[in-house]
Amino acid sequence: MAATQLIAARVTPETKAHVRALAQRQELTESAFLKRLIDLTQPTVTAASVAAADQSQRLARAARLTIRLRPEDRLLLRERATARGMPAATYVSLLVRAHLRHLTPLPKGELLALKRVVAELGAIGRNLNQIARAANENDRHAGPDRDALRAMLKVSEGLRDHVKALIKANAHSWETGHAEARA
């Protein structure tokens, strides 16, 4: 590949003299010396920069922040973290991250429970649809009557609305710091 691009940098007079001396020792021009230096270091710089970025990520994840809390706040923190099934430090980390990035975190345990509920509600809905379809196809059936089906549908809708309210309350609790009692 043809070398058509130019790299330039300003350096101190001392650095310029040092590079000139190194180039002369190798019987190269300053430009040829710098090109050789770049060619030799480019693969290691790329690998080194990737390694440095990985190390930076590990250090950033391991970075610690110390805060002081009033005893009553520490007690509340422990209670809320325990209620969510996580260590207090993780809970605080999620709160700070949520605040800084305008997120509504949902801890893994709560998210998995909600996903299970949604899956179950989906299964109930499919079963109700099958029963309703069978009831509509023929007048004689051994299943529940239309009133029972309507009642099951109402229960399913109530469960759905309850799950939606749980999700909304969870989001609100992360924003305000506590869940409010529902009226």
The pLDDT tens digits of the residues spanning 29-46 come to 888 888 888 877 776 556
Amino acid at 110: E
Q: What would the two tokens of residue 66 be?
A: 């110390």
Please state, in angstroms and as integers, the Cα–Cα distance from residue 116 to each residue in 5, 12, 110, 112, following that order: 58, 66, 10, 6
Say how far apart CA 163 and CA 117 lie, in whole Å.
Answer: 8
Of 26-30, 55-59, 115-119, the least confident: 55-59
Q: Do residues 86 and 107 touch, judged by C-beta distance below 8 A?
A: yes
Q: Is 174 exposed, middle or buried (0-12, 13-18, 19+ CB in 10 A)?
A: buried
Task: Report phi then psi at 167, rounded to 5.
Answer: -65, -45
Instruction: Provide the strand spans (E) within the chain.
Output: none
Residue 61 is predicted with a pLDDT of 64
The pLDDT tens digits of the residues spanning 119-140 come to 888 887 788 788 777 777 765 6
Residue appearing with tokens 């930076």: 56
Mean pLDDT over 51-56 rounds to 71
Residue 183 is predicted with a pLDDT of 46
Say how far apart CA 65 and CA 93 lie, in whole Å.
Answer: 10
Residue 7 has pLDDT above 90, yes or no: no
The pLDDT tens digits of the residues spanning 155-182 come to 878 887 888 877 777 777 666 655 554 4
Please state the pTM of the whole predicted model.
0.37
Angle between helices 88-101 and 71-83 (to 10 degrees): 90
Q: Is 126 exposed, middle or buried (0-12, 13-18, 19+ CB in 10 A)?
A: exposed
Residue 177 or residue 154, greater confidence:
154
The pLDDT tens digits of the residues spanning 64-106 come to 788 899 999 999 999 888 887 789 998 888 888 877 877 766 7
Instruction: Report the chain's terminal Cα–Cα distance, integer Å.
Output: 74
Tell me the residue length of the chain: 183
